[in-house]
Amino acid sequence: MKNDQDLKRQMIHDNHLSFFLSATEDNLSKRLVSLEEFDGTTGFAVADYCTSPLAGFHPEAVRMVLKDDSRYLGCRANHFVLVFGQSEVLDDWGDCVVCLANHKGGLCITVFTFNDLEDGERAS
């Protein structure tokens, strides 16, 4: 039997997944907060394995965002692959989104978590 905290966590997770799959591209980008970014120059360091959200990332859903040579979620590209999932490294297996984009051979990988503030509470 799940306790109240487990039920609340499951409800938040379900809301994040639903929003991830149904939100417009602009609304999704406003709701995500960057946690970590990797690029073709710095890459993914083995020393960071235990603290990186990518280390314990469990993918659950994927969507593609198409933009014409644009910046989206901090990366420049035409095609952005967004992967929704959970990371063991984040508190309570936190929900996060991994964005992969490639521009002229430079791969950008950014990990985001959700900003759960209501629209009126967000900073302008």
Closest of 92, 106, 89, 103 to residue 35, by C-alpha = 89
Whether the pLDDT of residue 124 is over 60: the answer is no
Place 13 in a pLDDT band, splitting at 50, 70 and 90: very high
Residue 66 has pLDDT above 50, yes or no: yes
Digit-coded pLDDT (tens) for 76-100: 899 999 999 998 888 878 899 999 9
User: Which pLDDT belongs to residue 44?
Assistant: 52
**pLDDT of 53:** 77
What is the SS3 assignment for 8?
Answer: helix
User: Residue ranges of the domains in the chain?
Assistant: 4-121
Looking at per-residue pLDDT, the higher value among 35 and 59 belongs to: 59
Residue 101, strand partner residues: 80, 108
Half-sphere exposure of 111 (CA within 13 A, CB side): 21
Between 117 and 68, the more confident residue is: 68
Q: What is the pLDDT of residue 91?
A: 80
